[in-house]
Amino acid sequence: MQAQLYGIRDRGRVASGWYADLVIFDPARVGSQQVAMRFDLPGGAGRLYAGTNGIDHVLVNGSPVVTNGRLTGALNGRLLRSGRDTATASLD
């Protein structure tokens, strides 16, 4: 529903020809780790960051970016652009 609400095309459904972004988690363990500052933005700017517990696997565009709770290093996504990747969402 979120992809449809924001008018994002070809997402929000696990089906042939669609982009599959999935998060597989353990509901008994899922949660946030302690919040800390990271200074890894351009120019050394800081941001708040918190790791997670219980997020075992994440797939972006059908390929794993997290396996067994660890980043794989894969960068399978892309920046979505208005007009190219979106349509005007209906308010129905």
pLDDT tens, residue by residue, 20-69: 789 999 999 999 999 999 999 999 999 999 989 999 999 988 889 999 98
Q: Would you tell me how many other CB atoms lie within 10 Å of the CB of residue 61?
A: 14
Confidence (pTM): 0.69
Tokens of 83: 């007009």
Q: Tell me which H or E stretch contains 67.
A: strand 63-67
User: What is the DSSP secondary structure assignment for residue 69, as one 8-state letter?
Assistant: T
